[in-house]
Structure 1
Amino acid sequence: MISAVSMIDSLKPLRTRDFAHSPDLGLVRRAVRAADWAAVVAYFDGLPPRADHALAVEVAAEVPGSERFLQRAVDTERDSSLARTLLGSRCVVLGWEARTTSRAANVSQAQWRVFYDHLGRAERLLTDAVAIDPGNAAAWTERIVTARALGFEPAEARRRYDKAAEHCDVPYRAQGRLIQNLAPKWGGSTKAMHDFAQECLKAGPPGTLAGAVVADAHIEHAFTSDRISRIRDYLGQRKVRDQLGAAAARTVLHTDHEPGHGWVAAHSAFAFALFQGGDLPRSARHFAALGNLVRPYGWDMMSDSWKADFRAARSKAAAR
């Protein structure tokens, strides 16, 4: 029987945006929308110095039209690493919007030109950001993305990750970024992804998100096939399910875990990988933690109607 909590959640709209997952992220979004630079600075100054600021940077950068406001901040605040980080991240967003999510073969030459113009500008801004403040872990995290987009060597992407990790206690967003760089679709290998994910899990303090990217690595491995049956067969392997369970137990399901920026992304990835692998009991704990919150990663790769699929999966896991 579906639990009362699941019945209530089934009636609520899904909240898929990062700023809806952590109340404080709405503050920086509103500050950017209001073009209030003092409020933006105050928000970032209020974050713990060695916390992962990367998600807050992404939320700010996703505000439509914010590039004009952020350019004024860069022009006015000559020594601001933050202003260059935010505008650089906005350029990354604009570049990917121009490229779209189409396969590379289906992207036009005009789209590629716009993409590389934006990513090249992002790289220059982010390079300036870390020159001003070498301890700016969020800027190093964004530079992992530009390294991938601009075709830099894997060693350079890893150097940028190491810089982010040097200045951030739990660089969960940087770990997720590097998993993408190491994925086969970007010229990497499944072994490189899994080795890195396990490295993060072993090195990170229990109860944090360090190592939750084990789920990302398995999702990317599964999607090296474009057949749903093979994706599910891979995720359904006993070894894979056990690795996912062990990683979840050490991260988001650990007794010391306290939800912070990124917790929805981690639970969503575990829920997806475990459910698609047929492990309903383990997936149910992640669905229960999420309620009506979800990040699309994994789910939207499987289906265009992923929101309905998520709801159905949540109900099925609750009724196990």
Structure 2
Amino acid sequence: MWPFKKRPDDAETDTVKFNDLLRDQGARQLLRALRERDWPTARDILTAADPEHFMFYMWCVSGADGLQEWIPDVIRAEPDSTLPLLARGAHAISWAWEARGSGTSSTVGEDQWKVWFQRLKLAENCLDEVIDRDPKCAEAWHYLIVLGRARQLPMEERWRRFNRLIEIDPAHLLGHQQMLENVMAKWSGSTEAMFDFARTRAAACPGTNIPLLVAQAHREQRRVEGSDKYLRRADVAGEIYAAAHNSFWHAGYQRSLMTPMVWNQFAHALTVGRYFREACGVYDLIGDDWINSTPWRTTERFVTMRDRARDKADDPDLDPDLDED
């Protein structure tokens, strides 16, 4: 049995820290440069990145505070470059959500809707210009997929954007996750479409991060059904376990920047599904260095579920239900 306490004490929880930047020095330097409005440094980091790092770095750019205040000056200063346009377009989507808020549509006021649509249009215009000039820019297609959902475009157009993305980068993780959102019932898709997409793309991309979509689809269905009992069903937990074997446990898998994100989500799903011994192996990979806020939300929750898995690994039948908060 793994030698861990059943409940985290305050000292143990205090030593656990989230690391959403994946211990990547480039991401830290990029965010610092953006805070300081140092575009030359940010540009150098972005242009030197490989495709996976560039995907992650653009995610960092999309949430950078205050970018819209100064990036138009960069666009004017560098008219031949699509990079500042891409940065402005990706960021404008987050900027639109900032204006709208995260509540349901009934909580959004008329003025908020006006700003929401203005900023989404800005994003679309910037990204359209990028792909007009650089049709193989994967990140432009990625954020156009996000816009397809935000603007509630016809499903045919959402699929067109996704298909263009995977022509360029067949295993683009964030783009796949965004398309999964697009086909969910809450965004004019359906439960059937969600699972079909997750399973089809997982089967098409063995030994990559993409089989994570299967676990994410089941997590969404758990949200719909409102109880972890769904994730504890033998067929559901078994499919998530099989997806882990098709992903980071696959013989052909190569660890990369995004691997810790995959570990964290599978560790959570395997724990809830009572694959405790298997989850323990994933927690060992995560260790203290690779803990992400998603899907745990709090460090206390991470420690509780990790210790639960290690405590129950040799005796899963005695495990009580522990639903999500």
TM interval, shorter chain, is 0.7 to 0.9
Asked whether the 8 Å contact 1:144–1:174 carries over to 2, the reply is yes
2:213 is aligned to: 213
2:299 is aligned to: 307
Gaps of at least 5 residues in structure 1 are 301-305
Q: How is 1:19-168 mapped onto 2 (pairs within 5 angstroms)?
A: 19-48=21-50, 50-51=51-52, 53-168=54-169
RMSD of aligned residue pairs (Cα, Å): 2.5
Matched, 1:15 2:11: no
Asked whether the 8 Å contact 1:144–1:161 carries over to 2, the reply is yes
Between 1:279-288 and 1:309-318, the stretch displaced more is: 279-288
Q: SS state of the match for residue 300, structure 2?
A: helix
Normalising by structure 2, we get a TM-score of 0.86
Gaps of at least 5 residues in structure 2 are 313-325
Structure possessing the higher radius of gyration over alpha carbons: 2
1:303 is aligned to: none
Return closer, same or farther for 1:167/1:51 CA change in 2, 3 Å cut-off. farther
Return closer, same or farther for 1:28/1:214 CA change in 2, 3 Å cut-off. same
- Show CA shifts across 1:222-252 (max 9, x none): 1113x3xxx3121111111111111111212
Measured in 2, the distance between the counterparts of 1:248 and 1:52 equals 23
Return closer, same or farther for 1:59/1:162 CA change in 2, 3 Å cut-off. same
Measured in 2, the distance between the counterparts of 1:259 and 1:118 equals 37
What displacement does 1:140 show? 0.5
- Return the structure number with greater relative CO, CA threshold 8 A, min gap 6: 2
Measured in 2, the distance between the counterparts of 1:319 and 1:157 equals 45
Measured in 2, the distance between the counterparts of 1:115 and 1:52 equals 29
Q: How many residues align?
A: 308
Measured in 2, the distance between the counterparts of 1:76 and 1:175 equals 34
Return closer, same or farther for 1:186/1:294 CA change in 2, 3 Å cut-off. farther
Asked whether the 8 Å contact 2:52–2:257 carries over to 1, the reply is no
Measured in 2, the distance between the counterparts of 1:188 and 1:272 equals 26
Asked whether the 8 Å contact 1:52–1:170 carries over to 2, the reply is no
Asked whether the 8 Å contact 1:184–1:224 carries over to 2, the reply is no
Measured in 1, the distance between the counterparts of 2:96 and 2:267 equals 30
1:263 is aligned to: 259
Return closer, same or farther for 1:284/1:70 CA change in 2, 3 Å cut-off. farther
Normalising by structure 1, we get a TM-score of 0.87
Percent sequence identity over matched residues?
Answer: 24
What displacement does 1:319 show? 2.2
What displacement does 1:288 show? 2.5
What displacement does 1:169 show? 4.3
